[in-house]
Structure 1
Amino acid sequence: MESISVTDVVKRLKQKVEGDNQLQHIVMEGNIIGLKRASTGHYYMNLHDAYSSIHAVFFRGRAGQAMAHVREGDKVIVVGSLNVYEKGGSVSFLIERLYSQGMGSLQVQLAEQKKRLAAAGYFDAAHKQPLPRFPWHIGVLTSHTGAVLHDIRKIASERNPYITVHLYPIPVQGESAVPEIAAALRKAGANRTLDVLILARGGGSMEDLWCFNHSEVVRAIYEAAVPVITAIGHETDTTLADYAADVRAATPTHAAELAFPSFADLQLLLTQLTETAIQRMQERQERYRHSLRQAIAAIRPDRYREYLTLRRQQAISRIALAQRQWHVCQMRKRGDLQTLAARLAGLNPENLGRRGYGQVFKDGQPIASVQSVQTGETLQIQVLDGIVETVVKGVKPYGKR
């Protein structure tokens, strides 16, 4: 069996393609996917329709201003030819002229989806949460095999190795990735031990990033109880997940810088706070010293001497007044006691006896009324030096008094 080399096959293909006039003068319609501008100024993209895609190149010299307003997903008409790149064995479409037809089908879908979700409030600024200043646990949702995870972990170890990274591995491309991304977001978003979430993937075409425009992913970001940072694609790429996120980062590296505070910066902040606190304490002490010095300077010994003399004189006057009032009270009480003593002396039976008075008893009971006595009864009269017994000869009551 005769064989030929790969180079021979590619050369024959190149000759066939470049020798076919129909393949060298093509007018083609499609959507731009994966648009990139190289540092040389050349534009690289894929031209895409519902069933197929082909790589295309628009060199700087031919592009001119034709690409000024062309965006990812735009529908365009291109004029050009097919070219076979021998070293890679790949077929590309070399664009000679390009005419923009406006938004492509993907961009139309994206605009409509964005409008619906915005009307539902999923992008409202009032709902967005601030990033914590001092996080301890950060959840990262990305592919466990890509460079994104490596970049985030590298930044984390450099900036603050004391923060724990929790990985939630997810697929980051394709329609089938949507439910897994949303489920991981719901799981991580409900984990209250986490302080921040990073949802990230590397660059890609609009089609590659399409799963991050899905309403289920947007809703999961919106409902997360933990602040979410998105870093999807390149800086120029924007998905609906970015609009729903609390913070959008330009790249995964930028997301890590936002989420992981620098330990050195924290140390500097702590030092500054300590110095500020000490300075404020010193300023307060100085204010107190100043107030104390003013108070001491305001003290005049002669004024306080006058004040104390006045208070002493007032005290002496009050004591003298109290003594006079006490003396008057004593004299008044002494007079009252003497009056009571005289009254008591007048009621003393012994004194009454000296004046000829006696007390009458019947059977040992004192007699106070003639109604208690009968004629012929024996009574006893107690006088100063003894008892006189007598017999009642008659009773003469007084009239009403």
Structure 2
Amino acid sequence: MTIYNVSEINNYIYNLISADNILQKIMVRGEISNFKLHTSGHCYLTLKDDKSAIKTVVFRRAAQKIKFRPENGMKVIACGNIGVYERDGAYQLYVSQLIPDGVGELNLYYEQLKKKLANEGLFEEIYKKPLPLYPKCIGIITSKTGAVLHDIFHVASLRNPTVKLLLYPVKVQGQGSAEEITAALKFFNKHKLCDVIIMGRGGGSIEDLWSFNDEDVVRTVFKSKIPIVSAVGHETDYTLTDFVSDMRAATPSQAAEFCVPAREEQLQKIELYRTKIYNLVCQQLQYYRERLNNCQQSHVFKQPYKLLDTKYQCIDTLQLKINDICDKYITEKKHSLDILAEKLLLLDPHAALQRGYSMIYKDKQLVNSIKKIKKTEQIQINVSDGFFSATVDEIMEGK
């Protein structure tokens, strides 16, 4: 009996499986578990049913073609081949295409992207910009050959032919269409050529409308400084641009109605406002006319001097009160001044001289003690009507 090593056995099994045509092109239905996205871009997961499981690998080249994000618990159909990973001696399913089971791939991707953008707040009402009341120019992003352009032009010309319409023609489906739509949005915002933008196309399948679900298109709509009206598909068709735009129109014609104010309606409004203003002015004039008449009939205007007589009498009364208060105040102050004058007079030394007293000075200094003078010193004696000099002959203590 021949003895084989492990590598030879694994290689032999690998060749057996590789030679089986059924295993080289196979579709497997199962539920995703243990999903892992490696930094290399390869995906590793396990497909399982209620009884068994199989290891599964999606290499980067195939993973880049998957439009939805695989998640644990998701039911899928994996297309690929069964092979052997010789290093571990394990067989695996190598996936070339992964399809959601029971729901289309685009539908699943649509729901996943919608949820992602909603969580980021792109659909919040607070970010919606109001449409201008009287736009001068409307930008249009659509195909130059479709019925959308005809509908918008027709409605706009009927409502107000003075509004300028500016077309940026783009492909609305197929390869490169999303990039053209994004470029158109950026062009209008960069050059500020219009007051509002209508973007849209006619109805179709989800594949036909897919450019308006493109993530770059949706984010560019959100960043637009110019208000955007989305008119994509029919009334029952909803794309992600409908949720992120400032207003959704069920049809292109309705979008034109939203953006272009009807000229006749505006003229009617102007006439209505003119009539309201005229009536308000008339009411105000009548009100002030009545007030003027009432004032003219008032006794104040007929006999104004009577009102002045009363005021004059009040002034005279106040003046008498002021005079009385001033007289009383002056009398009180004069009496106080007399009392102070009498006190000052009692304290005046010259008053004492009038009563027979005298004051003695030595060298212009008042002598009020015998200790300040000596015998033979010259002194000056002041009396009521003058002074005279004397010489000290004797000094005696006592009173």
Secondary structure at 2:174 match in 1: coil
* 1:394 and 2:362 are equivalent in the alignment: no
Distance 1:170 1:352, change over 3 A: same
Q: Distance in 2 between matches of 1:126 and 1:380?
A: 110
Distance 1:123 1:109, change over 3 A: farther
Q: Tell me, yes or no, if the aligned pair for 1:213 and 1:239 is still in contact at 8 Å.
A: no
Q: Tell me by how many angstroms 1:373 deviates.
A: 0.8
Q: Distance in 1 between matches of 2:102 and 2:141?
A: 25
Distance 1:208 1:350, change over 3 A: closer
The corresponding residue for 2:199 is 199
Distance 1:145 1:367, change over 3 A: same
Secondary structure at 2:279 match in 1: helix
Distance 1:371 1:280, change over 3 A: farther
Q: Tell me, yes or no, if the aligned pair for 1:138 and 1:164 is still in contact at 8 Å.
A: yes
Letter in 2 for 1:392: V
Distance 1:280 1:392, change over 3 A: same
The corresponding residue for 1:116 is 112
Deviation string, structure 1 residues 165-204 (Cα, Å, up to 9, x no partner): 3332211232332222233334445666643211133466
Secondary structure at 2:230 match in 1: strand
The corresponding residue for 2:268 is 268
The corresponding residue for 2:172 is 172
Mean Cα displacement is larger for which, 287-296 or 147-156?
287-296
Q: Tell me by how many angstroms 1:371 deviates.
A: 1.8
* 1:243 and 2:273 are equivalent in the alignment: no
TM-score normalized with structure 1 length: 0.56
Structure 2: gaps (5+ residues) = 1-100
Q: Tell me by how many angstroms 1:260 deviates.
A: 1.6
Q: Distance in 2 between matches of 1:334 and 1:130?
A: 85
Q: Tell me, yes or no, if the aligned pair for 1:221 and 1:241 is still in contact at 8 Å.
A: no
Q: Tell me by how many angstroms 1:315 deviates.
A: 5.7
Deviation string, structure 1 residues 77-123 (Cα, Å, up to 9, x no partner): xxxxxxxxxxxxxxxxxxxxxxxxxxxx9994554344334423266
Distance 1:331 1:285, change over 3 A: same
Q: Tell me by how many angstroms 1:151 deviates.
A: 4.8
Alignment of 1:330-349 (within 5 A): 330-342=330-342
Q: Distance in 2 between matches of 1:201 and 1:317?
A: 92
The corresponding residue for 1:367 is 367
Distance 1:347 1:144, change over 3 A: same
Deviation string, structure 1 residues 110-147 (Cα, Å, up to 9, x no partner): 54344334423266666544422222332211224555
Q: Tell me, yes or no, if the aligned pair for 1:214 and 1:240 is still in contact at 8 Å.
A: no
The corresponding residue for 2:221 is 221
Q: Tell me, yes or no, if the aligned pair for 2:106 and 2:206 is still in contact at 8 Å.
A: no
Q: Tell me, yes or no, if the aligned pair for 2:140 and 2:199 is still in contact at 8 Å.
A: yes
Distance 1:280 1:110, change over 3 A: farther
Secondary structure at 2:357 match in 1: coil
Q: How many percent of aligned residue pairs carry the same amino acid?
A: 32
Q: Distance in 2 between matches of 1:113 and 1:138?
A: 33
Q: Distance in 2 between matches of 1:213 and 1:271?
A: 45
TM-score normalized with structure 2 length: 0.56
Alignment of 1:116-155 (within 5 A): 116-120=112-116, 121=118, 128-146=128-146, 148-149=148-149, 151-155=151-155
Alignment of 1:368-387 (within 5 A): 368-387=368-387
Letter in 2 for 1:140: I
Q: Distance in 1 between matches of 2:181 and 2:102?
A: 21
